[in-house]
Amino acid sequence: MPLPATLSLLRVLWRREGDLLNLLPANAYKVEAGWLGWSRRSILIVNEPSEVRRILADADGIFPKNDLMTGAVEPLIGDSIFVSSGETWRRQRRMVAPAFSNLHLETAFSAMDAAIDDRVIALDKAAASGADISIDLVMSWLTADVICRTVFSAPLAHGVAEDVYDDFKIFERSAAHVELKRLILSPAFEDIPQHTHVLTACKRIREHLGTMVDPHLRAGADFKDIASAVIAARDPETGQGFTREELIDQLGVFFLAGHETSASALTWAFFIAATRPEMLARIRGEIDTVCGDGPVGFNHMPRLTYLRNFFREVLRLYPPITFIPRVALKPCEIAGHKLKRGAMVMIAPWTLHRHESYWKDAQVFDPDRWTPERAGEMTKDAYIPFGLGPRVCVGAAFAGVEAALILARLLRRYDFDVHDADTVRPAARLTTRPSDPVRASLKRR
């Protein structure tokens, strides 16, 4: 039975707000799978965890990444790891994954720390002057800076990196809107051209990325960053490395996949910590016990268990990737629903993580549900903020360490007083963001 959505659909189109959450009817949070109302192409939203695993593991090659999404990002990142499939993807994954090993993570940790040092200077000034900050903007800048420093050893304030950041904003805004319109109005596999200004922004971003890659490619260059690790990677079968264009594709992915996602999660984490004093007190108590008065170090990470559970719970109720879209390449059946070729299969961490059949007190924000004593409450494969199966996020460990370090350092240093906390609402654009900026004032502790 289709989930009734026509009214919400008209509202979303009318307001041009690009928020997909408004398209979700109430029973999207209750069914195993259901059709998502009216659109030119059929869209099945799938919650049932074993079907979610079957689709994301995709052993039979029926459910590749969705053509709408791959079309939207192709001018920016080509046929790179985030969107490719089959043998192309397998080769890329083999070559990219080692750059995110624990060894590289420890090196990345000091680059993350340096990015926070810079932000602390700006935040101290805001605290001293009483100026408001927008938590989203602070997080967006900080996580973009972390990506630039860990991937290219260049701070974001460096002119080229800042240009990449600005052009990415143009791309993201337009891509979210174009994607929503296509989702609703376009038939499957239709090739729809992007706006010229977006293509121009993509071209500029690629040129900038090239400028940052080139010093790494020069003979004798010795950077200890993610770009160098990806440049050094060789395909075990052919012995070949990535070409310059392929490097731009792959390194562009890290910027695309790795900064707004982390910024989204951190924005919610700071918002929740600021509005739940009892949880904030536990986080701070743990940091004091584990780190004392000294700096927060890489070796402290495994022992910040409450902070980790708090962040896990943020990713459950506010998963940055709201929807993980796939397309059916052949007629098939999912949870009793028959799909034609070209049907869109929408796996939504947003609905799955809030589904009352798979979570005890699904709507309650409760970091302690992640303690080992309560492991029995969990439903297998119902928690997928980083995806599932072979295409699980390659940067998941990186994102966990980055978030823990940023939260520990900033929550220890400042009180955040969020203004109009009651009016903060989630919206799904490219990531799950607050519908309006979350404004706050800061006080040094």
Should residue 94 be labelled a site residue for ligand HEM when binding is judged by CB under 6 A?
A: no
Residues numbered 5-24 forming contacts with ligand HEM, rule: CB under 6 A? none
Least Cα distance to 253 among 76, 23, 121 occurs for: 76
Contact with ligand HEM (CB under 6 A): which of 252, 367, 385, 434? 385
Q: Dig out the tokens for 127 from the structure.
A: 């605290």
By CB atoms closer than 10 A (0-12, 13-18, 19+), residue 239 is exposed
Should residue 438 be labelled a site residue for ligand HEM when binding is judged by CB under 6 A?
A: no
Should residue 25 be labelled a site residue for ligand HEM when binding is judged by CB under 6 A?
A: no
Backbone angles phi and psi of 58, in degrees to 5: 45, 55
First-to-last alpha carbon distance for the chain, in angstroms, is 55
Contact with ligand HEM (CB under 6 A): which of 47, 70, 261, 351? 261
| Whether the Cβ atoms of residue 315 and residue 431 lie closer than 8 Å to each other | no
Should residue 156 be labelled a site residue for ligand HEM when binding is judged by CB under 6 A?
A: no
CA 337 vs CA 38, 215, 306, 332: distances in Å = 16, 53, 41, 8
- Please identify, using beta-carbon distances, which residue of 231 and 442 lies nearer to ligand HEM: 231
Binding mask 280-319 vs ligand HEM (x if CB under 6 A, - otherwise)?
A: ----------------------------------------
- Helices in 130-158 by DSSP H: which ranges? 135-152
Should residue 142 be labelled a site residue for ligand HEM when binding is judged by CB under 6 A?
A: no
Q: What is the C-alpha radius of gyration for the chain, rounded to an integer number of angstroms?
A: 22
- Please identify, using beta-carbon distances, which residue of 317 and 393 lies nearer to ligand HEM: 393
Should residue 105 be labelled a site residue for ligand HEM when binding is judged by CB under 6 A?
A: no
Contact with ligand HEM (CB under 6 A): which of 227, 283, 324, 411? 324
Q: Which segments of 297-380 are extended strands (E)? A: 324-327, 332-334, 337-339, 344-347
Contact with ligand HEM (CB under 6 A): which of 265, 283, 304, 442? 265
Burial 333-355 (b: 16+ CB within 10 A, else e): ebbebebeebbbbbbbbbbbbbb
- Please identify, using beta-carbon distances, which residue of 65 and 127 lies nearer to ligand HEM: 65
Q: Dig out the tokens for 83 from the structure.
A: 């969107």
Should residue 411 be labelled a site residue for ligand HEM when binding is judged by CB under 6 A?
A: no
Should residue 39 be labelled a site residue for ligand HEM when binding is judged by CB under 6 A?
A: no
Should residue 387 be labelled a site residue for ligand HEM when binding is judged by CB under 6 A?
A: yes
Chain residues that interact with ligand HEM, rule: CB under 6 A: 65, 81-82, 93, 253-254, 257-258, 261-262, 265, 320-321, 324, 385-387, 391, 393-395, 398-399
